[in-house]
């Protein structure tokens, strides 16, 4: 039986997003639905629906009388997004600490444990595939953790906004995966996730807010304000934890 249109739309969305995040579709480049449909081997209808979703999520922009273009975030755009993320997630962590049950917190810990288990397997793989595997794993679990925190609020708007900002910042996140120090950077990120989980379990709003600030500083240092030396990145992050 042929797959239904919804499945094809999801397939088109995931493939086009993958091409954007991998820069196979270059930032700022023109996007043609007919070319994408041909490349993916499907009709234009699910591609058009996928493109509309990508427009809504900020990955594609529709310029009147000019056409569709891949988003091209400037450094200032990315910094603005991190500021927005800090405001939104400060609220979601505060609500989570007020409302999370022990079972909810155990769920956050399972996300962290599952990530660490899979990362340890990936680190033993061939160097040529480590970057791509870490990217897929980190993207999936980071969004799962942070959107999961927002979901405790039961606020549909807060959940949607956190999810949208997290997804848009995936574009910046791709910069660490070709870095020779990518494993250590990702491990530092997940050490922070663990500490955030402890803060939620301790019902410590001040600690959670401070840790979220540290988490976004790590993102800015390693994904937005890129420096030449991988060692300098890690050294600066460790100093900020002192």
Handedness of CA 233, 136, 84, 148 (dihedral sign): negative
User: Distance between CA atoms of 88 and 147, rounded to whole angstroms?
Assistant: 11
| Residues 119-145 as b or e (16 or more Cβ within 10 Å = b) | beebeeeeeeebbebbbebbbebbbbb
Handedness of CA 85, 53, 112, 175 (dihedral sign): negative
CATH 1.20.120.530 residue ranges of the chain are 75-241
Residue 236 makes CB contacts below 8 A (sequence gap 6+) with 221, 227
User: Distance between CA atoms of 8 and 43, rounded to whole angstroms?
Assistant: 9
Residue 151 makes CB contacts below 8 A (sequence gap 6+) with 159
CATH number belonging to domain 75-241: 1.20.120.530
Show the tokens assigned to 125: 């793989």
CATH 1.10.10.10 residue ranges of the chain are 5-70
pTM strictly above 0.75: yes
Tens-digit pLDDT string for the chain (242 aa): 345 678 899 999 989 988 888 778 888 899 999 999 999 999 999 999 999 999 988 889 999 889 999 988 888 988 999 999 999 999 999 999 999 999 999 999 999 999 999 999 998 877 666 777 888 889 899 999 999 999 999 999 999 999 989 988 888 777 676 667 888 889 999 999 999 999 999 999 999 999 999 999 999 988 887 633 333 433 444 444 43
Residue among 86, 81, 106 at smallest CA distance from 211: 86
Name the strands in the sheet holding 60-63, side by side, starting at the edge strand that comes first in the sequence: 30-31, 67-70, 60-63
5-70 is classed CATH 2.40.50.140: no
Token look-up 């840790």 returns 211
């Amino acid at each position: 039986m042929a797959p239904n249109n919804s499945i094809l739309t999801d397939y088109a969305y995931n493939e086009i997003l993958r091409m954007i995040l991998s820069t196979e579709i270059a930032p700022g480049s023109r996007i043609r639905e007919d070319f994408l449909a041909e490349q993916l081997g499907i009709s234009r209808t699910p591609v058009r629906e996928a493109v509309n979703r990508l427009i809504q999520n900020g990955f594609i922009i529709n310029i009147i009388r000019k056409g569709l273009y891949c988003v091209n975030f400037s450094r200032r755009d990315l910094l603005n997004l991190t500021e927005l993320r800090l405001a939104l997630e400060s609220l979601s962590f505060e609500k989570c600490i007020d409302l999370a049950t022990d079972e909810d917190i155990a769920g956050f810990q399972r996300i962290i444990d599952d990530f660490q288990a899979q990362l340890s397997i990936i680190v033993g793989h061939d160097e040529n595939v480590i970057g791509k595997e870490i990217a897929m794993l980190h993207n999936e679990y980071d969004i799962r953790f942070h959107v999961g925190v927002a979901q405790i609020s039961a606020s549909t708007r807060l959940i949607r906004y956190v999810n949208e900002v997290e997804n848009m910042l995936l574009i910046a996140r791709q910069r660490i995966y070709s870095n020779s120090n990518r494993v250590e950077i990702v491990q530092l990120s997940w050490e922070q996730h663990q500490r955030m989980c402890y803060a939620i379990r301790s019902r410590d709003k001040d600690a959670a807010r401070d840790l979220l600030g540290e988490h976004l500083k790590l993102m800015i240092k390693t994904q937005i304000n890129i420096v030449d030396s991988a060692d300098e990145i890690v050294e600066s992050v460790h100093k900020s934890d002192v």
